Structure 1
């Protein structure tokens, strides 16, 4: 397997996992059931990632560093995130909103321990430093003068470096911090929002927005083309307070159109060109 084929396989694995997680989160099941199902899917994906790695030999250190600093941690991070989310929600007390807010505040404060314990490495990682990457993200290069994870002794040495798990932890904690912050602020969102600004509502058909988002995603309009389709849809649904349902099914229906399958995009082009013509006249 060459490098291009390996990267393609990993990207396909990640994309399929994100699609599966998005579909599970769109089900009517409660958060605990969804988290349990998602964890099984992530576990299967990580096992597949390990198999792919066994079949591939990195061509140089830079390629290995990239895999263990960026690629593997994103898989493990969401596993850690949903594991913690499951634990938090399964242990959540049946209480009034004020008590629940305190509960989430307490869980959020636990994240500070990790940040304080590993602040030097977190600073290194967030500043995108690279001068220690060969020690942190190359296998069999453990430097016991550096601060290592206490679980390192049980790691698979073929699938781990001294600090890739710590990167996963940072990424997971960032996601968890956002989740807990949203939970804490959910009951006060109306008071803390910039309510002076009138909210915009999508009033065109939902299928039109789906068509537009697919086009924007395929044109690499978000995060330099590194955003996932599910991430794009979640962001717009949250921003516009709209549920686009099963957008994969909607795309299949768009494909069945007999004429002008991208009719909303055609309409946008026509209206904008008309506006330009009106300005010129």
Structure 2
């Protein structure tokens, strides 16, 4: 199932790279990605409904890792399209105020609907002890006082909590997007490395590789003596390389339980550097 997840993420990344290489405007790119992800989600849904799952673990992996990645980006790109197409102007103070207001709305929604829930803390902690309840079909406990949108989802293709994970992923992507749209001089949260001169700078390895590098720099306190938080450090790299990362915390917890080496990318970096050094000998 891990292979399936990697394949899905690679296909999404290829589509994003394809649209970016065509120099499309953000609104058009978001619209095309929305259509692409909607079709991908529908195709996978049909396959799941037809074949089901081999065992409980496969079902949990699908609803915890695979579906939320697709749905999360679908929610994200749809929101980007709506935000871009309702922006009143393309530059100036009104433009900046518009995106600052969108960021305030996002933060408010995050506090009201996500961060104060027990499930959010469970997911952020990388726990697995309740996965059998959260990520299996037909396990919804209505005694938990769930929100009314539970009655609007397709229970043959959702555990309810996979939708929550998708919204966590979408909110993090949208947070990064909005910061890149706001004037850094007016917003201390934004990083001033997103100028036109950086348009050709892109990360060409996997997202997991970048996350591995970010955590290594954070753990070694190599940047600002370790005084900069992991979230802000990740934001710097996302803006620098113009590549939104998914839930970095959950990805890191998956790395901790990898079979074989847990530092695949760092191991390869060492090998590549040593081979490069040997060329000069």
TM-score clears 0.5: yes
Deviation per CA, 1:121-144, whole angstroms, max 9, x where unpaired?
Answer: 222211112333222211111111
CA drift at 1:101: 2.0
1:115 and 1:122 in contact (8 A); partners too:
no
| 1:116 paired to 2:121 | no
CA distance in 2, matches of 1:117, 1:16: 30
| 1:138 paired to 2:143 | no
CA distance in 1, matches of 2:157, 2:212: 29
Which residue matches 2:96? 101
2:184 and 2:192 in contact (8 A); partners too:
no
Which residue matches 2:151? 153
Q: Is there any run of 5+ residues in structure 2 with no aligned partner, and where?
A: 214-235, 243-271
| 1:23 paired to 2:18 | yes
- Structure 1 residues 137, 147: closer, same or farther in 2, change over 3 A? farther
- Structure 1 residues 29, 174: closer, same or farther in 2, change over 3 A? same
CA distance in 2, matches of 1:95, 1:221: 35
- Structure 1 residues 138, 114: closer, same or farther in 2, change over 3 A? same
Deviation per CA, 1:64-116, whole angstroms, max 9, x where unpaired?
Answer: 22211111000000000011111111111116532222211211112222333
CA distance in 2, matches of 1:61, 1:187: 50
2:96 and 2:181 in contact (8 A); partners too:
yes
CA distance in 1, matches of 2:238, 2:113: 37
Q: Secondary structure at 1:145's aligned position in 2?
A: helix
Which residue matches 2:164? 166
Further displaced range: 33-42 or 23-32: 23-32
TM-score, with normalisation over the residues of structure 1?
0.65
Which residue matches 2:219? none
2:191 and 2:239 in contact (8 A); partners too:
no
- Structure 1 residues 32, 96: closer, same or farther in 2, change over 3 A? closer
Tell which structure's C-alpha radius of gyration is larger: 1
Q: Secondary structure at 2:156's aligned position in 1?
A: coil
Which residue matches 1:41? 36
CA distance in 2, matches of 1:176, 1:236: 15
TM-score, with normalisation over the residues of structure 2?
0.65
CA distance in 2, matches of 1:176, 1:11: 22
Which residue matches 2:252? none
Deviation per CA, 1:150-182, whole angstroms, max 9, x where unpaired?
Answer: 322122222100211011001100000111112
Aligned length: 224
Q: Secondary structure at 2:69's aligned position in 1?
A: helix
CA drift at 1:63: 2.4
Q: Secondary structure at 2:136's aligned position in 1?
A: coil
- Structure 1 residues 53, 98: closer, same or farther in 2, change over 3 A? same
Which residue matches 2:253? none
Q: Secondary structure at 1:23's aligned position in 2?
A: helix
